[in-house]
Amino acid sequence: MTMQEPMTAAQEGQASALRSAPWSQSEALAVYQMPFMELLFRAQTVHRAHFEPSTVQTSQLLSVKTGGCPEDCKYCSQSVFNPTGLKASKLMALERVLEEAARAKEGGATRYCMGAAWRSPKDRDLDEIEAMVRGVKALGMETCMTLGMLDAHQARRLKEAGLDYYNHNIDTSERFYGEIITTRHFNDRIETLGHVRDAGMKICCGGILGMGETQEDRVAMLVTLANLPVPPESVPINMLIPIPGSPLENEGHLDPFDFVRTIALARIMMPTSHVRLSAGRKDMSDELQALCFFAGANSIFVGDVLLTAANPGEGRDAALFRRLGLKPEALEQ
């Protein structure tokens, strides 16, 4: 009896990409709980089979309509339920949005993401939103919007305007969801994702860690995403930023290794997706971010601000990229 040869990186990655059976909670949890070094090795092997390991996709995010959101998300500075001191604003003028997008492109961003604090957009707002999409596309950038829930008609309008990605995070597991948000249901999120996919757009969808969830909840969130008819092309993994005045202002005490484990599991379960190291990077050490990149994260938000939260500045990111030998991913033409 001969010992079986270990799989090469390409074979491991191909096996993951060709997987047809849905992930079970128990199977995914077993991967999450692997010895840390084995987990990272497996994640890096899958990552190398699908991506150049030293490139990172860079996006920039702009809040085009801030505050006054009628949802009660416990983590959010923009909810009318949370006394965070943030004042609501009107929809930003098109000219300002395009000026900010042009600056983001000059800074190296290849995707421009625009967010509005709405439960869902009103049809009368979509004319201006569509103009923003067309204007950013004309600059030669990928476009992404996050506007809350969409119906099928609204999703088709955004697709016709040229929107590449729509972001709509599920935030956490279905079990824990009601502990964080009560003004809409978990299935409302899934329904919007279906409208986005049916309209022909790519999906950006992930969640937030450190809200008091269990490791089983983190795994269940990724099981939901990986088992969608088509997994999201972009998977943002956020570390909770405890906002003073929000119900979660005293949360956010997550073991950094658990955060890295979640990144690695996302990479293994969704091998061809961009896994984005998102909110919370300002308070992450360079060493933690490096572990996340090794575990399969290959996308970040650049710029000083993420909607209303602080983000590492251009200088810190550039210095980190130099130290790690990373380079921004070029936009495919």
Active site residues: 69, 73, 76, 113, 144, 204, 276
CA distance 44 to 292: 10
User: Do residues 58 and 328 lie in contact, with contact meaning Cβ atoms separated by under 8 Å?
Assistant: yes
Q: What are the φ/ψ torsions at residue 44 (nearest 5 degrees)?
A: -65, -35
| Residue appearing with tokens 């930003």 | 92
Provide the pairing of β-strand 111-116 with 202-204: unpaired
d(CA 204, CA 147): 12
Question: CA-to-CA distance for 191 and 151, rounded, in angstroms?
Answer: 8
> Distance between CA atoms of 56 and 59, rounded to whole angstroms?
10
**For the chain, what is the radius of gyration of the CA atoms?**
19
Residue type, 252: G
- Please enumerate, as own/partner, the contacts of 134-137 that have beta carbons within 8 Å and a separation of 24 or more: 134/161, 134/162, 135/94, 135/97, 135/98, 135/101, 136/97, 136/98, 136/101, 136/112, 137/162
d(CA 54, CA 74): 36
Whose CA is closest to 142, among 333, 304, 276, 11?
Answer: 333
Any idea how long the chain is? 333
Closest CA to 18 of 262, 235, 271: 271
